[in-house]
Chain A
Amino acid sequence: MSTVTDSKFTGTPRKVTPHITQNEALSFEKSSPGKKAYKLPPLDVPEVDPAALLGEAAREDLGTLPELSEIEIIRHFTRLSTWNYAIDLGMYPLGSCTMKYNPRVNEFVSRIEGIAEAHPYQPESLSQGALQVMETLQNCLIEITGMDAITLQPAAGAHGEFTGMLLIRAWHESKGNARKHVIVPDSAHGTNPATAAVCGYEVINLKSNADGGIDVEALAQLVNEDTAALMLTNPSTIGVFENQVHKIADILHARGALLYMDGANMNALVGKTRPGDFGADVMHLNLHKTFSTPHGGGGPGSGPVACKKILEPFLPTPVVARNAECQLYLEFNRPHSVGRVRMFYGNYGMFVRALAYILANGPDGLRQTTEDAVLNANYLRAKLEDLYDLPYKTPSMHEVVFSDKRQTKNGVKTGDLAKRLIDYGFHPYTTSFPLIVPGALMIEPTESESREELDLFIDTMRQIAREADENPELILNAPHSTRISRLDETTAARKPILRWKSPTAE
């Protein structure tokens, strides 16, 4: 086992001390026949013979599944959990991911029986509370975005993009021409071009200007009667507010095209400005970014789509509505709808959590949250820009993007610097994105970091910059303190092993 020794550090890491973690095999390797972690109540109806009921469809053997006792299972997963870094352990500055605190009252309220046990097909008369949560959240999100209408159905951000682009397509079709292409800036998330493609559009790449923003002149040249929309992330992926956004919207609108806004970076805007006011026609929100629902190791997300009045008729079915008696119901009769994008009504449990977050904040809390997120990013920028290359000097909003230009002189790249952060007890920033910044270090602290935690991070980044000069080998071999280090990703992709197989079975 490698341990953190003084020789591995130029200074002393203030945030971490190495400690023992448990080894843990795969559940299959620990299994032995006959162990159980369950007990079913006695069957109170006559037993059935599966062979008689199912005939050839009956199953005899379930294959290789673990057989373990309850104590072994809780230890198994608890041990695995200790191998993860988490927001609950410290700063998690993955740019573009908005790793903010996930309040526990959100988890509590989502598990209240009448909510957690609600069946999606139970009668509307017995779902008034569930629908009211959706309606309240919708109203809050419409107000926050400055839009006119919303659907909560999309299950994640990319799914929201898909939904939003379908609305745009349906609107164009209603005018007799779906149009041919969608313009996507080269700084965009990969989901943007992928989404435009699945909606049947050709993707036209828009090169960023010298400031990393939208080249308004170039855009004006590109937009024509074949343009369906521009997909704009604002603030952009370099954390910069597009202050020409209204002009951009005007250019699009003048030629009958629409402005799609990727709301991934909405954490920089809530309570300070509204996309609906500055010209966006449709946008998605990531409840798992801006509105504190947990990322959970990669989901579940939730990607509501808010839009202007002109797009409302096309929203997915059903929508929440009120009848003449003021009772809430699900409206399915929407002849212009793009259809369903998901069964039932979306990731409902995330609606509950997001609403709990909004209620905990109120208008003043949400505004303060945005201000703190932007304050934190600018503080990091001010404290690090003397040691790390800042390719775009434009003012930062909620995140700051450096490049590894100075460190590469010693052969140290952004991915290596990131690995070294792990030794100091931080989750790395986002590496190598956005693509317009070669060797990017994309840092988003969020509002959830105290000044003390930020200072620890700054110290660490400064220390690592020194190490890159004085002892690059140390960084190139990092991390030194983890259970395992530098996994062989090439072999993993070349000879994929995607499941466990019993050694005796081969």
Chain B
Amino acid sequence: MRYLPKSPADREAMLREIGAASIDDLFAVIPEEFRLTGDLDIPRQMAESEIVDHFKAAAAQNANGYTSFLGAGAYRHYRPVLIDTIVQRGEFLTSYTPYQAEITQGTLQAIFEFQTMICELTGMDIANASMYDGSTGAAEAVMMAIRVTGRDNVLVARSVHPEYREVMHTYAQHQGHDAAEVDYIREGHNAGRIDLAALEAAVTGQTACILIQSPNFFGTVEDVAAIAEIAHKNGALLIVSIAEAVSLGAIRPPVEADIVSLEAQSFGVALSYGGPYCGVLAAKEKYLRQMPGRLVGETKDKHGRRGFVLTLSTREQHIRREKATSNICTNQALVALMATVYMTIYGKQGIREVALQNLAKADYAAKSLSHSGKLLFVNTPRFHEFVLQTDESPAQLNQRLLDQKIIGGLDLQKWYPELGNATLWCATELTTREQIDRAAKVIAAAPALAVG
């Protein structure tokens, strides 16, 4: 086996040194009835070339060469080549959680830079070293708010990503927390945003937090300041989930929030059929002790030189066990490094430029597609996603697009049946005018039912 660095003679010699007659001696402790005697029923050992062929064949059965307008929590942005060059360095790829600070300063300093950039972009005081992803990050933020306030009711906007909400419910259900959903406004001014009147009516003295997403699942930007006012008036925390990190280049950060849960996938992380991505929690400084996950802090060594360490571990499971802030241990360090490299490459000007291109492309796409359907929530500011309502069913519409090698908007029927034939579209800096025009043409060519 090519990964194993021992010759048969090595094995024999080592067994002799141990004083074992055969390798089976070392497994004698396993009761005989449970010892495997034959081979596992799995594919035979393959050569490297066969492995590459195996996965190329699998990849060929996926969408290849399609134009895609999918977003909804997973976004296609350009990933500079430098990112993979750097994360494939063995010193980053094959090291572990930086427990031994003297020989993990590379990882530690990179995380410190990550934490700093996340604070700058989100407008928060502190940020952790990463969470699994945006959905579990939002759930952990809710748990954090429950600890901070000592209250156990949670209000969640229905305009939060449906899968984030599902994860939040899974986390909350067994801890006696009551999570209620607050609807969004359908028409007119503020359409596509959380219904503030309904929110006012729902919030009580037992509300631990209000969880919103902005830009929300429809791509609409929420009125964070107004929601924060309602939360804070009632002694509740405001958690803002951000699924599209690039939006921070064009949209005011949610500075009124108490906790921000960011999904950083857009910062240079491949779509990879849904993961690994990179969640991160940022918060106001006063909530530091309730923050879950790893934190890197600056300190000095015995000679007075600057260095970085994992810190405040008394919050964590390996010290606190059942009283820890969370059971999280491993996070997404390497993916956070991808995001760090991305933010360093695009920097102060570039993230803004990318965001403005997204804004322009989505605006053009929305206008182009609106000739063949009704654009929802038009009077409310949005980033790079929009909802299109059509006479034709999403299934039919998308099939006609697929025939032209275009993956259309996401069918919202499953989660928002009240919107009828609605699809969620996304355009990024990688979407070309030609692609948008082509999609618009296919949609406009709807049979019999064609609108306008």
Contacts and interface: CB of A to CB of B under 8 A. Distances in A.
Q: Which of A74, A197, A358, A498 has its CB near the most chain B CB atoms (within 10 A)? A: A498
Given A422-B103, A499-B127, A59 B273 contact: no
A129 B250 contact: no
Contact of B252 (A44, A57, A70, A451): A57
A450 B4 CA distance: 8
Contacts of B3: 101, 103, 292, 360-361, 365, 369, 447-448
B327 A194 contact: yes
Interface in A73-94: 73-74, 76-78, 80-89, 92, 94
Interface residues of B, number: 200
A195 interface: yes
Interface in B408-447: 410, 429, 432-434, 436
B178 interface: no
Interface string B112-153: 110111011101011101101111100000010000000000
A368 B101 contact: no
Contacts of A116: 270-272
B403 interface: no
A33 B314 CA distance: 40
A427 interface: yes
Contact of A198 (B70, B97, B301, B327): B327
A58 B252 contact: yes
19 contacts: A2-B303, A43-B357, A53-B363, A62-B248, A74-B86, A82-B91, A94-B99, A194-B317, A241-B30, A341-B167, A343-B133, A343-B161, A344-B274, A347-B132, A365-B3, A374-B27, A479-B102, A482-B103, A489-B299
B349 A243 contact: no
A383 interface: yes
B72 A85 contact: no
B276 interface: yes
B21 interface: no
A226 to B, nearest CB: 16
Contacts of A310: none
Given A44-B432, A85-B95, A102-B94, A158 B328 contact: yes
- State the 5 A-B residue pairs at the shortest beta-carbon distance, nearest first: A296-B334, A344-B274, A114-B59, A362-B45, A88-B90
A501 B11 CA distance: 55
B322 A120 contact: no
A322 interface: no
Contacts of A479: 102-103
Given A40-B354, A129-B62, A379-B17, A198 B44 contact: no
Contact of B10 (A77, A129, A450): A450
B135 A342 contact: yes
B174 to A, nearest CB: 4
Nearest to B359: A48
Interface residues of A, number: 200
Q: Which of B34, B312, B323 has its CB near the most chain A CB atoms (within 10 A)? A: B34
B371 interface: no
Contacts of A274: 34, 36
Contact of B276 (A89, A297, A347): A347
Interface string B55-91: 1111111111010101011101000101011111111
A472 interface: no
A197 B333 contact: no
B360 interface: yes
Interface stretch (A161-169, A251-259, A402-410, A459-467): A161-169
Contacts of B341: 73, 77
Given A129-B61, A130-B273, A241-B29, A360 B329 contact: no
A184 B62 CA distance: 44
Contacts of B299: 487-489, 491-492, 497
B107 A297 contact: yes
B202 interface: no
Contact of A359 (B41, B54, B74): B54
